[in-house]
Amino acid sequence: MAKIAAEVRRAAVARLEELRADGVLTAGHVRTVAQSTGVSERTVWRWLSPPAARSVRQPRPHYVLSETDREAFAFYRGNIAALHRARHAVVAGDGTTAGAPVPGFLAEGWDRARPVTLRTLQRAFAEELTPAERAAWQSGESGRRAASVYLQRPDALRGRCWEMDHKQIPLLVLPPKGKALCPWMTTVVDDGTRALLGWSVALAPTSGTVFTAMRMAMLHEPDVSPFGAVPERVRIDRGLEFAADAVEAALGTLAVVMHRLPAFTPHRKGKVERLNLTIEQTLISQLPGFTGGPRDAGGKLYGPVKDSVAAKQAAEGQAGGPMRIERFVDRFAAWARWYNTERPHRMLGGRTPLQAWTDDPAPLRRIPADELRHLMLADAERTIRKDGISFNSLSYVAPELQGRGGQVVQIRYMPHDDRQIEVYLAGKHLCTAHPTGQLTAKQTDAFRIHAAAEAKRLGQERRRASRQARRTLAPMTGDGTPPAESRLVPEGDGRTRTQRERDQALAARASTSLLGLTDPTADPES
């Protein structure tokens, strides 16, 4: 700035000297130059005065920071005023500042140093240290990052790369049970178009919330949204939910590369981090229960947040109270539609994410919804009971569960979607179950018809088995003459006549000997 000012001054003085040489210089010329250069008219007249008449102005001495000054800046955490007091105490021979002795390594370094003013030190630190260096000691790593410059990746084609992140929402909501708390949100952002492809809200971050967000981002439903495609790469952080074996297996099955970023590097997935900030600024901060909002003198947020029935009922009807989590999910769904379809984005040239997605002609890789259903769902183990499968305080039933009471099955579900669950037995898909209280008339009729058919089938099987048993026991309950097929040894086997007669006599007494009775007329020797 000083160099530019000197050039401007030199050009202005040269022009005024020309006007003076031509004899047309007036006070109006001087006034115009003074207004344009931001100085007084007296200063401009001084510029035009002969060099001998000008007062020689000594240049301001330039102070160069010493190594001790830099060490003191770090020791006093960027407090230049405290540094100056300690330096002045050492130079004056006192050695104490603010009632405490100056550290020995600073006192030794400042020995025989010349005194300087506080303003000189402030100017020297401002000139010799970068903003990132000053912020690192004044406000820590966050300040250093705010003053740093980062590389920017070129935008990928649509649907090729995702950025995913977990964030605890700074908003108190009322869960179905328990006291008010701040839920967690998982978001999926498209790298090329900044579109919010998928999201999920849950009381705690789990692999199930990750599955829900990924399934929403992959599922293509033309009637609902034009988004939905299988990416080539996913950028994630070190969250344990993203590192779950089930998540890696699902993405690996679709040949999706998981790029796990180093710890504490949020700038390497800056698009999803910026979206989280946009969500907080444009939605969360306007809702009741925002934890960054106004507080009372005791530090508590305005609005009822107590865990009581009266407080929950009051919260539903008061504008300042926390909302229920189901209502927040509905509000966020409406906000997501607005963000994708109506909000212009500066980094997209004023287009919306939907327009950027539509304008990109890159081909997309999609997967059928039936195949995706079995990949992108959270799983749990349950036992089939008389009322079906109990999950999240609901009982799920399906016709295929008839006669399977006591069996252990695997269920897959979406965390905030209780409309249905997928049931698996021994790794194979068994059925889709629905809550008992939410069955349609058609589903109820199908369940009852299947139950009657199953009872009829089992009754027929029992009657068939009973008939087979009677045919098998017939030789033991006959009139004493065994049928031919019951003989253990066929005729013509070389037995003597006496042996055959003895066998026939034993067969004749078989019906009574089995009951513990004997024939008194029979020959005991026979």
**334 and 293 in one domain?**
yes
**329 and 184 in one domain?**
yes
**329 and 246 in one domain?**
yes
pLDDT digits (tens), the chain, 526 positions: 455 577 888 888 888 888 888 888 888 989 998 898 888 998 888 888 876 655 556 666 678 899 999 999 999 989 999 999 999 999 988 888 888 889 999 989 998 888 999 999 999 999 999 998 888 888 888 888 888 887 777 788 898 999 999 889 998 888 887 788 899 999 999 998 999 999 989 888 887 788 888 888 988 887 777 898 999 999 888 776 666 677 777 788 888 888 888 787 777 888 899 999 999 999 998 888 788 877 777 776 665 444 445 554 555 545 556 788 889 999 999 999 999 999 999 888 899 999 999 999 999 998 887 777 666 676 788 999 988 999 888 899 988 888 888 899 988 877 666 788 888 888 788 888 889 878 888 888 888 888 788 788 888 888 888 887 777 766 655 555 555 444 444 555 555 566 666 667 666 655 444 444 445 454 544 4
- CA atoms within 13 A of residue 57's CA, in its CB half-sphere: 5
The residue from 146, 176, 199 where one domain ends is 146
Q: Is residue 61 part of a domain?
A: no
Long-range contacts of 4-13 (CB under 8 A, 24+ apart): 5/37, 8/37, 9/37, 9/47, 12/36, 12/37, 12/44, 12/47, 13/47, 13/48
Q: Determine which helix (DSSP H) or strand (DSSP E) holds 199, and give its type and residue range.
A: strand 196-202
**192 and 105 in one domain?**
no
**Cβ pair 409, 384 in contact under 8 A:** yes
| Count: domains in the chain | 5
**395 and 280 in one domain?**
no
Alpha-carbon distance 315 to 186, whole Å? 26
Task: Give me the CATH number covering residue 288.
Answer: 3.30.420.10
pLDDT attached to residue 302: 60
Q: Is residue 483 part of a domain?
A: no
Specify the DSSP class assigned to residue 266: G
Rg of the chain over CA atoms, in angstroms? 44
Q: Which residues of 364-394 are buried (b: 16+ CB within 10 A; e: fewer)?
A: beebeeeebbebbbbeeebebeeebbebeeb
Q: Is residue 472 part of a domain?
A: yes
Q: Is residue 366 part of a domain?
A: no
The token duo for 292 is 């960054």
The residue from 115, 146, 177 where one domain ends is 146
**195 and 141 in one domain?**
no
**Cβ pair 78, 138 in contact under 8 A:** yes
Pairing of strands 196-202, 161-168: unpaired
Q: Which residues of 79-106 are buried (b: 16+ CB within 10 A; e: fewer)?
A: ebebbbbbbbbbeeeeeebeeeebeeeb
Range of the domain at 104: 67-146
pLDDT attached to residue 484: 47
**165 and 134 in one domain?**
no
**240 and 215 in one domain?**
yes
**165 and 109 in one domain?**
no
Q: Is residue 293 part of a domain?
A: yes
Q: Is residue 484 part of a domain?
A: no
Cβ atoms < 10 Å from Cβ of 160: 19
User: What does the angle CA 203 – CA 208 – CA 211 come to, to the nearest 5 degrees?
Assistant: 130
Q: What is the pLDDT of residues 250-280, one digit of tens each?
A: 788 888 888 888 787 777 888 899 999 999 9
Q: Is residue 153 part of a domain?
A: no
**389 and 455 in one domain?**
yes
pLDDT attached to residue 23: 84
Q: What is the DSSP string of 97-113?
A: ETTEEPPHHHHHHTTTP
Q: What is the largest CA-CA distance in the chain?
A: 171
Alpha-carbon distance 450 to 281, whole Å? 53
Q: Is residue 371 part of a domain?
A: no
**208 and 240 in one domain?**
yes
**Cβ pair 411, 395 in contact under 8 A:** no
